[in-house]
Amino acid sequence: MRPSRFDVVIAGGGHNGLTAAAYLAQAGRSVLVLERQPLVGGAAVSARVFDGVDARLSRFSYLVSLLPASIIADLNLRVRLRHRRIASYTPAGDRGLLVDHGDQAATAASFAALTGSDADWKAWQKFYAATAALARRVFPTLTEPLRTRAEFRALAGDDAVWDALIEQPLSAVIEREFGHDTVRGVVLTDALIGTFARAGEDSLRQNRCFLYHVIGNGTGDWDVPVGGMGQVTEELARAAREAGAEIRTGAEVTGIDPDGEVTVREADGEYTVGAGHILANLAPAALARLTGDRTMASQATSNGSAPEGAQLKVNLVLRRLPRLRDPDVTPQAAFAGTFHVHEGYAGLEEAYRQAAAGRIPAAAPCETYCHSLTDPSILGPELAASGAHTLTVFGLHMPARLFRADPDGARAAALAATLAALDDVLAEPVADCLLTDAAGQPCVEVKSPADLEREIYLPGGHIWHQDLEWPFAEDDADAGRWGVETGHPRLLLCGAGTRRGGGVSGIGGHNAAMALLRG
């Protein structure tokens, strides 16, 4: 007989639900995790995507910055994150801008060659020294009860940075501090990941996205999870199970009664489970649908608008890395970091305009990165020995609205525009480098926001469940809470849609668990 009541039932087995499960089970609570898919992990999974190709791709998310070292230590996770020496490469004509953490002189020379002076390099160092100082001060608070805005500002301790990142649209600081269009664009991209926004938007959602991209673990570094993103999820699932949590896959939550009852559908029928508390690893919009109470989810967050993702994810496996136009940089260096394509400042604005007008951007902005250069363990030995590599492409300004009327046609058009964008900056077509699968088909997988909504249940395909929020209480009355509350005492959010939850961080799960354990 299956137990019909648990201390905590968690709807959704994403990495955040598993994090909450592990903490709560370790604290002695009886925990049930219900995941509708055959596998746990949601957007944090690895998969062998191409038939006959022995490559475990991080299918959706791929880099880790926001997962606190404290969570890895608390849960004893065997997760290794490998630092990338090359931060980024941005082709510009027949040369490019290389930002190499390991060689300041080379980076300075690269800035000078691109911009014609050392002004932007100096501005870059000053700007990122300030964001790093901010990161060191504020990141530890993300796993603590919320501070008020004033307390958070005092902790940040730098009024100029506060003004630039929290008060003014990001465009102000970028246009004031940096002169060259390429440099401005590279800075801006962190504000546009999965976020359909302009640099100068009053909503400041671009600022919030930027903030989360520069504070991770007190450095803002985006590291490579060894073994792929699935390794992070597998370790969290192991920690939860070993602590006694039960994880059911193929178990869809079809109804939530906030007073403590969850309705579940499995292949052999529907049943209900009682719960002392219910944790929702679901997007707030999905939770509102399941409870039938729209005010509940919007009480949990300050953002009531419908979520809309804005990215195209393309997974490629290559026979070999493509040749670059730039004779001074090797493909191994350029693709090890974030490789920016058509992400100049003016170009990003133009791409936004085109997408807002309902068109796939003509010069599609995107960024690529090669996991297997930093961590070849995701390739089978024969594939690795053959010189093959993985390539992740993350396209910006591809909002869900472009894919609604004709999902297949729009996906094909977006893929074509993205591959053409890559070809614009390479010395040979990327198609010439693609590996083929067992059926002779090129190894190309593409996911639009509409695909993400259908396949992994992200509302509007939004990778953060909804637009990111400030990591402090906007209403002083919420200070001291965890940013997971729904307005109902027995129902909490525990995923990316919690106040500080976006990205692969476990923070949403941690904070929901702490709200239960510490009150």
Which residues of the chain form contacts with ligand FAD (CB under 6 A)? 11-17, 34-37, 42-44, 60-63, 66, 252-253, 281-282, 286, 313, 452, 456-458, 463-464, 495-496, 502-504, 508
What CA–CA distance (Å, rounded) separates 418 from 111?
Answer: 26
Contact (Cβ atoms closer than 8 angstroms) between residue 503 and residue 66: yes
What CA–CA distance (Å, rounded) separates 417 from 315?
Answer: 15
CB of 278 vs ligand FAD, minimal distance in Å = 12
Strand partners, 394: 313, 367
Residues in the chain: 519
At residue 428, what is the residue type?
E
Contact (Cβ atoms closer than 8 angstroms) between residue 260 and residue 293: no
Task: Please give the DSSP secondary-structure letter assigned to residue 36.
Answer: S
What CA–CA distance (Å, rounded) separates 485 from 46?
Answer: 31
Of 188, 203, 214, the closest CA to residue 348 belongs to: 188
Of 1, 9, 7, the closest CA to residue 264 belongs to: 9
Of 212, 66, 17, the closest CA to residue 134 belongs to: 212
Contact (Cβ atoms closer than 8 angstroms) between residue 411 and residue 344: no
Nearest CB to ligand FAD, comparing residues 55 and 92 = 55
The single residue listed with the structure tokens 């419908």 is: 306
What CA–CA distance (Å, rounded) separates 99 from 110?
Answer: 8
Of 362, 325, 365, the closest CA to residue 342 belongs to: 365
Q: Which residues of 499-518 are buried (b: 16+ CB within 10 A; e: fewer)?
A: bbbbbbbbbbbbbbbbbbee
At residue 322, what is the residue type?
P
CB of 347 vs ligand FAD, minimal distance in Å = 22
CB of 391 vs ligand FAD, minimal distance in Å = 14
CB of 46 vs ligand FAD, minimal distance in Å = 12
Nearest CB to ligand FAD, comparing residues 20 and 173 = 20
The single residue listed with the structure tokens 């290794």 is: 80
Burial of 28 from C-beta contacts in 10 A (0-12 / 13-18 / 19+): exposed
Nearest CB to ligand FAD, comparing residues 61 and 171 = 61
Nearest CB to ligand FAD, comparing residues 66 and 400 = 66
Of 83, 112, 111, 73, the closest CA to residue 510 belongs to: 73
Contact (Cβ atoms closer than 8 angstroms) between residue 18 and residue 237: yes
Of 310, 322, 416, 326, the closest CA to residue 370 belongs to: 322
What is the pairing mode between strands 5-11 and 31-35?
Answer: parallel
